[in-house]
A = this chain, B = another copy of it.
């Protein structure tokens, strides 16, 4: 269990530069994004991380599974199966799923969530066969309309339980779930179910950025109680990498190795002592 840097924390860096920035800080793991992997080449990326001795903590992202019409649904399922194949090639066990928001003009959240569950169930057998875990990421409720109709950890776990595969679980990303009055019980529940597949850390900054997705901050810059949440996660027996995924335009303007160094300092101060 150690700190992993999600490559979008240093988004402007090329794949080799991102790997170099992680290695320069003595870290052992990186989280990758599919479009960056595709741009650098899947085989090339797999060879690069292997050569550098890095683990790939997660692959972002599958999901977008709210489609209603049969063709769109089949395309979404195929795309998720591709993500699973890419995960296998990269040697990571975990694909993060961002489930998608409401379709254009649709307002029925209940029906949308039902389709998400059905579509994850359709992918689960392939994930099992390939030995890849599907980690449903609840997104902050401010993204419920446009990015993810799964807004709480309990809801992600409800879906995972309904699907009934031990390869379907959830992500705890502090930015998305820190406010949840049921967070403590939900993390314990994820642990009991063996469904806590990824713990991700970054802070909630205010004021919100013009693009709210980019309001994520270095741990300690915002409002989140990392010691408390980290202890809750540790109490479940979680022993996988802990990824830091920060989208922040100020951080993207820093040299990648310096940004990674700051993440590592904050992790060492606010997260590591509570594991």
Contact = CB atoms under 8 A, between A and B. Distances in A.
Most buried by B among A180, A222, A223: A223
A181 B152 contact: yes
14 contacts: A107-B225, A107-B228, A108-B225, A109-B178, A110-B184, A110-B228, A141-B179, A142-B208, A142-B212, A144-B179, A145-B222, A146-B206, A151-B181, A152-B181
Interface of A: 102, 107-110, 113, 140-142, 144-146, 150-152, 154-155, 158, 178-181, 184, 204, 206, 208, 210, 212, 222-225, 228
Given A142-B141, A142-B208, A113 B181 contact: yes
Nearest to A223: B145
Nearest to A141: B179
A120 B85 CA distance: 54
Contact of A142 (B142, B146, B150, B155): B142
Nearest to A113: B181
Nearest to A142: B142
A200 B225 CA distance: 32
A36 B234 CA distance: 50
Contact of A212 (B109, B150, B208, B222): B208
Nearest to A154: B181
Contacts of A154: 181
Nearest to A184: B110
Nearest to A155: B181
A102 B225 CA distance: 11
A249 B178 CA distance: 30
A180 B151 contact: yes
Most buried by B among A109, A146, A212, A228: A109
Given A142-B208, A155-B181, 8 more contacts: A107-B225, A108-B228, A113-B181, A141-B179, A145-B206, A151-B180, A154-B181, A158-B181
A108 B183 CA distance: 13
Contact of A140 (B107, B109, B142, B223): B142
A223 B151 contact: no
B181 A107 contact: no
Contacts of A208: 142, 208, 212
Most buried by B among A140, A145, A154: A145
A150 B142 CA distance: 15
